[in-house]
Structure 1
Amino acid sequence: MATDYDAPRRRGDEDIETDSLEGLKAAEKAEPDVDDTDDGEIVEPYDVPMADLSGEELSGTVIPRQADEFTCSVCFLVQHRSRIAEKAGDNEYICVDCA
């Protein structure tokens, strides 16, 4: 069977032509509008209790920075010297995470 490649192509009946305004309107009517942003649950606001913690005492030991540790000048976390990415100035270093 010979095929004429210059002839205009025909679309199937189930395909809706969306190249024209009428085709877009038909496609819009075919799909029902579904609002999926509301899941139906009512969300109550969460109130943070205003407890007075000034009389509480923490039970932890504070260990000072060791000789093989540094404080990152960006995130201010104490880390091991193997995590130095770059030097920012005199005794100022930047960790691998912040670099």
Structure 2
Amino acid sequence: MATDYDTPRIRPEDEIETDSLEGLKAAEKAEPIIDDTDDGEVVEPLDIPMADLSGEELSGEVIPRQNDEFTCSVCFLVQHRNRIAEDNGEGGYVCVDCA
């Protein structure tokens, strides 16, 4: 038997009248909405060790910038003077890494 693939196919959902409110409600009941976004993988929560650091204090000595050091005007890291790559003329230096 030959099949004409150009003829329109009628599905049961197409027979429901969707021009009226009752028809739309019937169509909604006929086709349940399926959520396809879940791929089935179980995602476990990320547990960060020592996550609650609210009661902790920093214990370290802060040493001010020395005479032979500069602060990079791009990355704002304090570096030794031998790492100066550029001088913008206004006292701002750029380190070798940022240049």
Give the TM-score normalised by structure 1.
Answer: 0.49
Greater fraction of residues in helix? 2
Give the TM-score normalised by structure 2.
Answer: 0.49
